[in-house]
Amino acid sequence: MIRINLLPIRTTKRQEAVRGQLIFAGVGAVALVVGLFLVHGVMLARISSAETDVRELQTKVDQMKVQAAQAEEAEALKADYQKKLDVIKRLKANRSGPVHMLDELAIATPDKLSLTTVSEKGGSIKLAGMAVSNELISQFLSNLEQSSFFDDVYLNSIEQATVDGVAVKVFSITARLVVPGTEEPVAEGATK
């Protein structure tokens, strides 16, 4: 009888199968490592690109901050200049305000009406005087109300009196002094 020993063939086939699996596993591991390196390279490229974008955006943000600071500084300067211009305008108006106010009083005062007292304090003006009739006082009040220098004109009192043997009406008026163009009362101490 012939005997064939099949054991070494099986062992050889097993070794070849193990070798094939090891080669396949090695090729797979190499492919995995190569794939990981490729993915890593792509991710590094994306990160580098993102970092470049972040640096560019940060540069733009810094430029915008500088421009915003310059704009805020310009706005502050503009507001400061505007305040100074307003003060100058108000000072000019207040300087000429009392002269114009007295001129307006002279224009508004009818004949046969005389002012005995004119006083101003903090933009409030008090007038006292004498007139021959109530109609003249009414006309004076109307003239003051039409003037752009006087606002809130009120008649406080009218009393009958005799001066040098003549019957007259003694009156008292209050008003608010306004300098046209400033729309604010005249500063205290402008006219006394």
Task: Give the pLDDT score at 94.
Answer: 66
Which strand ranges, in their side-by-side order, compose the sheet holding 166-177?
113-121, 124-131, 166-177, 150-163
Nearest to 175 by CA among 192, 191, 151: 151
Length of the chain: 192
Nearest to 120 by CA among 61, 189, 63: 189
The strand ranges marked E within the chain are 113-121, 124-131, 150-163, 166-177
Task: Give the pLDDT score at 147.
Answer: 85
Number of C-beta neighbours around residue 158 at 10 A: 14
User: Which domains does the chain possess?
Assistant: 10-192 (3.30.1360.100)
**pLDDT, tens digit only, all 192 positions of the chain:** 676 655 555 667 778 888 889 999 999 999 999 999 999 999 999 999 999 999 999 999 999 999 999 999 999 999 999 999 988 887 776 666 677 778 888 888 888 888 999 888 877 889 999 998 889 889 999 998 888 888 888 989 999 988 888 889 999 999 988 876 655 544 444 443
- The two beta strands, 150-163 and 113-121, are unpaired
Are 98 and 179 spatial neighbours (Cβ–Cβ below 8 Å)? no
